Amino acid sequence: MPRTKLALARGFPPVIDDGARVLVLGSLPGRASLEARQYYAQPQNAFWRIMGALVGAGPELGYRQRLARLKRSSLALWDVLAAGQREGSLDAAIVRATAIANDFASLFERCHGIELVCFNGRTAESLYRQRVLPSLPARFAGIALHALPSTSPAHAGMPFAVKLDRWSVLLPHSAEAFRARPTAGRERAR
């Protein structure tokens, strides 16, 4: 029996403003996120629990409130892929031949303050390194990169406390930490 063609899943626009210092990247929204039209909507995904512990953007808040807290904390959120085919929600099921990367050069051009790109899992990192990094202008290709453990329930082998500790790398780049820095050196040469 011939295999049915998978629909092309389309991602969401970035959650970002001019004050962004850290860009957190997933791979492509899973089924629950696509249905809810929200980042990390799968209830067992630890992303919003981690954001709650780090910057007060936890699941007890409404979705719009969580996004506003991320922005106030200088955190931005997006996915490496703008679109791609995937059966289910596992990153391993993304059909790489159908993957279409987001336009990061335009994003970095608009948001000059990004100093760190963090990946929510190894698949996001791999996709970025393969599909995005080779075509970025040198001034953007030098932005620091950091892989973080996946918040997906499929990566349940790592205890929440360990994930939270690893994700705390975001804190020195948060709005509060940025305000505490001396004014010299805040402007990045682009």
Delimit the domains of the chain by residue range: 16-180
Q: How far is 77 from 14, CA to CA, in rounded Å? A: 6
Q: Of 87-91, 99-103, 148-152, 175-179, which has the strongest mean pLDDT?
A: 148-152
Q: What's the pLDDT at 75?
A: 97
Q: What's the pLDDT at 183?
A: 40
**In CATH, what class is 16-180?**
alpha beta
CA angle 120, 123, 126 (to 5 degrees): 110
Instruction: Give residue 143's pLDDT band: very low, low, confident or very high (50, 70, 90).
Output: very high
Q: How far is 22 from 118, CA to CA, in rounded Å? A: 7
Helices 47-55 and 160-167, axial angle in degrees (round to 10) = 60
Say if residue 180's pLDDT is above 50. no
Instruction: Write out pLDDT tens, residues 83-93.
Output: 876 776 566 55
Report the 10 Å Cβ neighbour count for 69: 18
* Catalytic residue flag (residue 45): yes
Single out the catalytic residue among 27, 33, 45, 152. 45
Coil/strand/helix, residue 148? strand
